Structures are given as structure tokens and as C-alpha cells.
Amino acid sequence: MIMKRFLVILLLMLCLGTAISAADGNIPPIALKHFSNGLIYEAEGNYDQAVASYLIALTFVPGETELMRSIADAYMMMNMPHKAIEYYTKLVEIEPDKEGFRRDAANAAYMIRDNVTAEKHMRWVIEKGRPDFTDRMQYVVILMSMGKSKNALKSLEQAEIYYPNEPAVFGLKGNILLDREEYHKALVAFRRSVELDPTYSRGYMGMSAAYEYLGMRDSLITVQKTFVDMNPDNPQVRRQLINLLVIEQLFGMALAEAEIYLQLVPEDWEMLRRMAFLAYFQDENLQSAEYFGRLLEWDASDHEARLFLAQVLLELDSVSSAIYHIETALAQKRDPEAVITLALAYEHAGRAFEAVELLRRDGSEFSDNVALPIFEGVIAGRAKDYPRAIEAYNRALEIEPDNQDALFGLGDAFENSNRREDAIEVFRELWSENSNDPIVANYFGYLLIEDNRELEFAGGLIEFALEKEPENAAYIDSYGWYLYRIGEYGKALEYLLRADSLAEIPDPVIFEHVGEVYEKLGEPELAMEYYSKALELNPDLEHSKSRLKELE
């Protein structure tokens, strides 16, 4: 290996020594010695020592171009183009028609951002030399750096003549047209680049940018997907597609791409976290549970991830696992959200009493938090413990007197406790403060219809709710019941049957209402059929029981 390096150095010395001798037949031995030392240093990668030796040699032969070029080249190897340009410039002055000197001077000038000098020398190469592909591309880049995009495009048109099948020519042209905001022309250039080379990544990136500027979102997604398909193992490309799909709210596609991406880059915790929450909000519970689980393997102290994992596990009926994670989260950090989640888990496990007691007990710890008594009221109400629900909602209103959720829950608890007058007063207050809420309008209107009072006002409330949500089965049922109250039985039946057809699950109240309308229309057999349907779903409907018994 040493012998081989020695032979290479000897060959360089002989060649360059011959070159120096050809320029000046009387070379002092001392100059040749320093030059030889410089060659050895350069071959060893010791460029600063090489420059020192070359500079000493140059003092004996000041006009020697090979020595000057060796100095300039060594400076370039040392990443000192500001030094190299001095010698390249001298070389051009000595031999202005030497293409290599012009090219080297242009490269050094460009590196120090002296674009005027770089453009001058590279233009000489283009116009008077024998430029290759790299020269032409560099000249265009220099022109772009000077803000001369029009001249750059002209130069690229010449390059197209010499290199009609080179995708980089069209890719660079597309970039220039993008900068000039000529997006349609840019698209043409980028499309041509990928026609020439379907794997040309810059072409796809350029097309994506052009489509985005033009607002052509579908085409942008198509190009990005094609780019991903051509680079299936490039995680960065797939990550960009995922971000785009999220921005475009194509969440299902984003999750599918994320599943592949996270196999390529399993430790991208930021992406894993984003996709865990996205999967949760898209009801992709299995995927969400897996991602939250992986996050906790990485960081067991991630309180938020643990709580969301518990909620997902509840959705998957893994109640004991959910409770374990919530209790772990509470041991790490006491907060109201974790307490509420644990209460919901207890309720899910059929332990409603424990859930209510937990919320009552921990409510004193978080005495300013209105959510705890509200959820206590919700769970108590679902357990049909309406007195306790009323008490909880009243405590919530002591904390926050205008809380709409607490007021709504209180009114609902009053209605289920057969305290309709109190319920109506609560919803009257709610409506005065929420005159744009269709849920409040429907509930308030329905209470008035049930109580057979203020029917015109009640009908207007239901009509308002239907304007907001015309396909809402509950609102349609309410309006059908309003029509029944004012004696328009035929129209009432139309609305009630439509409500039944739109209901996501069979509703016993709608069936009971249909039964009553059929009675008024003189159809007792159909009335009995619908009362029976209502009782199959809810055997506690006393009105359906009594009517069915009487009709039988």
C-alpha cells in the first residue's frame, strides 16, 4: 500500500515537473523540491502544509500557472474559496481563454456568493467553451441567485436542445416558473420531468407545490400518493403525505398511511401520539388502544395518554383494564378529569352507586370544579336516582350559576321526577339564554306539548329546531306530537312514521305516539300493534299498558 502511494506521488511529480519545465526551462532545484514536498503533503491530505510548500516554490517561479492552480485547488480542498479565488482570478488574467481556469473561478466565486464574478466566468464557458450538462445547470443556478429568472429560463431553453431527455432540465425549469408564480407552466415542466424519469423525486415535489398553489387539492393528494408508492421505504415522503391527509381531513386515509409509517419509524413518538389521538376521535378504538399502549411503554408517566387509553378500553368493554389505568393515573397525578373518567368506568362496570359516591367525595377536593357535580348528576340520573341528580345539579349551579349543562340536567331531572312545572321553568330560563339552541328548543317545546299548554309557542319552538336539523328523528316526533295536540291527526301520523323511519334505533315513545294517533283515526288494531311494540322496548310505559288493556 505504501509502495503504491509512493508510485502515485512520483508520477505526479514527474508529470507536474514536466509541465513546469515546459513553461520555464530553468527551474531552480529548490523550487522543485518545495513543489515536490507540496505534492506529498497534498497526497496525504495535509493541505495547509501543501499550500505552504507551493507558496515557497512560487516565489522562485512567480508566473507558473500549474503552481498557482495547485495552490487554488488546495485552498478549495480546505474549504477556503475566498483564498482560492485570488489565484483562479490571476490564472484567468494570465490565460483568459483557458476554459478550466474560467470554470474553477466561477465555482469559487459562487461559493463566496460573488455571483457577478461567477456569472461572468461561467457565461464565458457557456458562450466560448465546451460546456457540459453540469456547466449549464450551474449557470442557471447562478442566474437565479442574481434574480435573473428570465435569463435563466432562456439558458434552460438552450439546455433543452442539447439535453432533451434530461429530467433535471425540466425540473429546474419548473422551479423557476414556480418562483415566477407561473404555476400552470410549472406543472407542464414538472410533468415532463417525471415522464422522462418516473422516479424523479424533484418532479413529484414540484408538481405537489404547483397543485397546492393552484388549490387543486385532489391532484395534490394523487401526486403525493404516487410519490409514496414509488418510494415505499422512504419514511419522510410518507410522513409528508400523512400531514397532507390530516390537513385535508382525510383522517381514515391518514391513519392507514400512519400504520405503515410507524412500522418504518416505530420510535417517532410525536407521530405516534398524534395518530393515537386521531384514531381515538375517529372511533378507531383498536388502533388507538395500540398506539396509546406503545406511548405508555415509552413513557409510563404520560398522564394524558393513560387517561385516553382508559377511555378507549371502556369503549372496548375492557372495564377492569380501564379502571387499572385510571387508578394508576390518579396515583401519578390527582386531577378532576381522571376522577370523572374513573366514575364513568365504575358506572360502565355496573357500579353506579360507587361512581356517584366517588364524585361526591372527590368533589370536595376540587370544590371549584363544576364538572364533578354535573357528572354526578348525569350518572345519578341514568341510575334513576333523580333526587340525588337534582341535588348534584344544584351544587353545580352554586359553583357556576349560569352553567347550561347543569341547568339542562336539572330540568331533565325535574321532568323525570314528575315535577313538570319546575322543569318548564328551568327550560324557560334556558331558552331565554340559548335562543339559538335546537336541543333546548325541542325539549322545552315538548314539555309544553306534553302539558298541553302554550301550544302555538311550543309548535314554533319545534319548528325552529327542525329548521336547524330537519332530519332529526326526535324533533320530527315532537312536531308530530304537536300536530296531534292541535287535532291534525293525518299530518301527525305522517311526521311520526317519518320519525320512526329516521330513528337510528327503535324508539318506544315514537311507537306510543303512533298508537295514540291511530286511535284518533279509528284504527284500533293498528293502535294496539304500536302500543305492543312500545311495550316490547319499554315494559314500564304505563300509558301504553292502560290503552292496550282497554282496547283489548
Which of 433, 510, 451, 521 minimizes the C-alpha distance to 476? 510
Tally Cβ neighbours within 10 Å of residue 55. Answer: 14
What Å distances lie between residue 151 and 139, 155, 173, CA to CA?
10, 6, 12
Q: Under DSSP, is residue 316 helix (H, G, I), strand (E, B) or coil?
A: coil
Q: Where are the alpha helices (DSSP H) in 383-523?
A: 386-399, 404-416, 420-433, 438-450, 455-468, 473-485, 489-502, 508-520
d(CA 303, CA 413): 34
Q: What is the DSSP letter of 343?
A: H
* Grid-cell match 429568472, residue found: 149
Residue-level pLDDT at 473: 93
Q: Indicate the domain borders of the chain.
A: 334-434
Between CA 155 and CA 144 the distance in angstroms is 11
Q: What is the pLDDT along the chain (552 residues), one digit of tens a residue?
A: 333 333 334 444 444 444 444 344 466 888 889 989 999 999 999 999 999 999 999 999 888 999 999 999 999 999 999 999 999 999 999 999 999 999 999 999 999 999 999 999 999 999 999 999 999 999 999 999 999 999 999 999 999 999 999 999 999 999 999 999 999 999 999 999 999 998 888 898 899 999 999 999 899 999 999 989 888 888 998 998 999 899 889 999 999 999 999 999 999 999 999 999 999 999 999 999 999 999 999 999 999 999 999 999 999 999 999 999 999 998 888 889 989 999 999 999 899 999 999 999 887 788 889 999 999 999 999 999 999 999 999 999 999 999 999 999 999 999 999 999 999 999 999 999 888 899 999 999 999 999 999 999 999 999 999 999 999 999 999 999 999 999 999 999 999 999 999 988 989 999 999 999 999 999 989 989 998 999 999 998 888 888 888 887
CA-CA-CA-CA torsion sign (200, 204, 210, 211): positive
Q: What is the pLDDT of residue 333?
A: 87
Rounded CA gap, 515 and 550, in Å?
13
CA distances 531 to 298, 341, 481, 518, Å, are 57, 39, 16, 10
The cell numbers describing 166, all together, are 434530461
Q: Give dist(CA 183, CA 473) in Å, integer.
A: 49
CATH of domain 334-434: 1.25.40.10
Cell numbers 417525471 correspond to what residue? 194
CB 377, CB 397: distance < 8 Å: no
Sign, CA dihedral 168-172-175-180, equals negative
Decide if 110 contacts 82 (C-beta within 8 A).
no
Three-state SS at 341: helix
pLDDT of residue 26: 60
Please report the sign of the dihedral spanned by the C-alpha atoms of residue 24, residue 28, residue 31, residue 37.
Answer: positive
The answer to whether 271 and 261 have CB atoms below 8 angstroms apart is: yes
Question: Sign of dihedral through CA atoms 27, 29, 30, 34?
Answer: positive
Question: CA 450, CA 456: separation in Å to the nearest integer?
Answer: 13
Cell numbers standing for residue 100 = 478550466
Task: Give the residue from 528, 461, 467, 471 showing the smallest Cα distance to 503.
Answer: 471
Contact 140, 152 (CB under 8 A): yes
Q: How far is the C-alpha of 381 from the C-alpha of 361, rounded, in Å?
A: 18
Radius of gyration over alpha carbons of the chain, in Å?
41
The Cα–Cα gap between 40 and 5 comes to 9
**pLDDT score at 49:** 94
CA distance 342 to 323: 6
- The 8-class DSSP code of residue 454 comes to S
Of the CA atoms within 13 Å of residue 18, those in its CB half-sphere come to 5
